[in-house]
């Protein structure tokens, strides 16, 4: 995983990885997301992501959408709690189109009021589709409770009421307060040389006016545990058990990543799947997620189970957690877990778009990018003692929380 990092005079950082392919993936990441909104403006960062496609000083909405799709390329965007990303995938010869269009919609969008009002309806439909999906809803609502009275608890989509309150003025103010050039990263992965990449990035982004600033964020407080059961009259119970966890900069972050993978990672042989599905037949779907932010984190264990099996499922989840807290893993178990996660990481490198997004996010939020060797070396250093210590720190019985929709 070789890459090169360079910086434009206006402060925009760039990262490039050459690959033997005719496809190129290009992304512009901005260090601004849902946690940077006020509660009254919930959903604003995501609203801007939609609004960027609605018209610029030289393009109408149709011309934006058609510019890349006409040559078989793809243009997309997403918003998280901490960043906004606009990205494209195209043939190597169409990189200029992609860079030109991304630059235009980020820095020259006019946000026509008529188009904004139409897009509010689209976003409200998106919100309602999530509300009709208890599986999606329970994750968002759990995070809202874990980070109660803090912007990390903001729903990325916002609410129907908050979206309807948003205005063109709000968009321009948010961009003025958060869209700083030194808080942006351009990431390019694919079949183009570093020399050509530097030339094109300078051509399209070198004249962007320099605007430097800092993104100020408050660290969330730890709240008392909560245990809530909410009746939704669903056929299946949706269970979340979890807690706040390490930030992305915590020295034990990789240990928790490994622990989480053993507990409920994306494989059929994880502990929760073997216990709840294979041995007891209590759940079709169970998984564990660790999400890290720059100053906090969240671990959430999900189980979809029949309503009559809610208590049994929670008991088995807690049993697996207690095993991590009380019983040190053997050398063979730890080595197998390390081999598994390294294989997953290596397979993830096959996707050029995923690598582009990963490189960009790492440079944007942490101002560094680890090579694959550095990642593997760090994984190899994780001990069974460290896993035991991490389990006891993260899964303290005094702070585990539960949210159940049934």
Give the pLDDT confidence score for residue 1 in this predicted structure: 61
Instruction: Compute the half-sphere exposure of residue 32: CA atoms within 13 Å on the CB side of its CA.
Output: 29
Give the pLDDT confidence score for residue 332 in this predicted structure: 96
Distances (CA, A) of 127 to 131, 155, 334: 6, 10, 42
pLDDT of 204 higher than 70: yes
CATH fold of 227-405, please?
A: Cytochrome Bc1 Complex; Chain A, domain 1 (3.30.830)
Rounded distance between C-alpha atoms, residue 368 and residue 360, angstroms: 10
pLDDT of 51 higher than 70: yes
DSSP 3-state of 388: helix
CATH numeric code, 4-205? 3.30.830.10
On average, the pLDDT of the chain sits at 96
Buried b (16+ CB within 10 A) or exposed e, 37-71: beeebbbbbbbbbbbbbbbbeebeeeebeebbeee
Phi/psi for 18 (5° steps) reads -85, 140
Instruction: Catalogue the long-range contacts made by 70-73 (C-beta closer than 8 Å, 24 or more residues apart).
Output: 71/97, 73/97, 73/98
- Of the pLDDT bands very low, low, confident and very high (cuts 50, 70, 90), residue 282 is very high
Closest CA to 54 of 206, 171, 209, 177: 171
pLDDT of 280 higher than 80: yes
Q: How large is the angle between the packed helices 95-107 and 61-69, nearest 10 degrees?
A: 160
pLDDT over 90, % of the chain: 95
pLDDT digits (tens, 9 = 90+) for 18-31: 999 999 999 999 99
How big is the chain by its Cα radius of gyration, in Å? 22
Give the pLDDT confidence score for residue 372 in this predicted structure: 93
**Residues 6 or more apart whose Cβ sits within 8 Å of residue 205:** 8, 10, 12, 99, 103, 186
pLDDT over 70, % of the chain: 100
Rounded distance between C-alpha atoms, residue 6 and residue 205, angstroms: 13
Cα 171 from chain centre: 22
**Where exactly does CATH 3.30.830.10 map onto the chain?**
4-205, 227-405
pLDDT of 77 higher than 90: yes
Give the H or E element holding residue 404: strand 401-405
- Of the pLDDT bands very low, low, confident and very high (cuts 50, 70, 90), residue 360 is very high
**Residues 6 or more apart whose Cβ sits within 8 Å of residue 55:** 61, 64, 109, 110, 111, 112, 115
- Of the pLDDT bands very low, low, confident and very high (cuts 50, 70, 90), residue 222 is confident
Choice between 222 and 166, residue whose per-residue pLDDT is larger: 166
Instruction: Compute the half-sphere exposure of residue 311: CA atoms within 13 Å on the CB side of its CA.
Output: 1
Q: Are 98 and 73 in contact (CB under 8 A)?
A: yes
| Average pLDDT, integer, range 100-116 | 98
pLDDT digits (tens, 9 = 90+) for 132-183: 899 999 999 999 999 999 999 999 999 999 999 999 999 999 999 999 999 9
């Amino acid at each position: 995983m070789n890459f090169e990092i360079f910086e434009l005079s206006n402060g925009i950082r760039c990262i490039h990885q050459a690959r033997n392919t005719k496809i190129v993936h290009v992304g512009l990441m901005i260090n601004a997301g849902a946690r940077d909104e006020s509660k009254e403006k919930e959903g604003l960062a995501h609203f801007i992501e939609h609004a960027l496609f609605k018209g610029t000083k030289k393009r109408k909405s149709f011309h934006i959408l058609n510019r890349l799709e006409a040559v078989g390329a793809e243009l997309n965007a997403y918003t998280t709690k901490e960043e906004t990303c606009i990205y494209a995938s195209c043939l190597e010869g169409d990189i200029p189109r992609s860079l030109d269009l991304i630059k235009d919609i980020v820095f020259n969008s006019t946000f026509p009021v008529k188009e904004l009002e139409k897009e509010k309806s689209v976003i409200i439909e998106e919100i309602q589709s999530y509300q009709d999906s208890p599986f999606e809803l329970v994750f968002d609502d759990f995070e809202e409770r874990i980070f109660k009275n803090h912007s990390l608890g903001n729903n990325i989509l916002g609410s129907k009421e908050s979206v309807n309150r948003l205005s063109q003025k709000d968009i321009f103010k948010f961009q003025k307060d958060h869209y700083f050039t030194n808080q942006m990263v351009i990431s390019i992965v694919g079949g183009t040389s570093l020399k050509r990449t530097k030339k094109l990035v300078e051509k399209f982004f070198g004249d962007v006016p320099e605007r430097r600033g800092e993104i100020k964020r408050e660290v969330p407080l730890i709240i008392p545990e909560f245990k809530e059961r909410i009746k939704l009259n669903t056929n299946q119970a949706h269970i979340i058990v979890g807690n706040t966890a390490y930030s992305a900069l915590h020295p034990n972050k990789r240990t928790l990543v490994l622990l989480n993978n053993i507990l409920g990672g994306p494989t059929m042989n994880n502990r929760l799947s073997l216990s709840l599905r294979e041995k007891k037949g209590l759940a079709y779907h169970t998984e564990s997620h660790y999400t890290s932010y720059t100053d906090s984190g969240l671990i959430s264990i999900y189980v979809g189970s029949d309503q009559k099996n809610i208590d049994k499922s929670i008991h088995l989840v807690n049993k697996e957690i207690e095993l991590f807290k009380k019983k040190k893993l053997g050398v063979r178990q730890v080595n197998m877990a390390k081999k598994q996660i390294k294989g997953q990481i290596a397979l993830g490198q096959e996707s050029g778009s995923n690598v582009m997004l990963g490189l960009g996010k790492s440079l944007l939020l942490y101002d560094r990018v680890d090579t694959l060797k550095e990642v593997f070396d760090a994984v190899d250093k994780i001990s069974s003692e460290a896993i035991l210590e991490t389990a006891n720190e993260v899964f303290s019985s005094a702070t585990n929380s539960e949210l159940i929709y049934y």
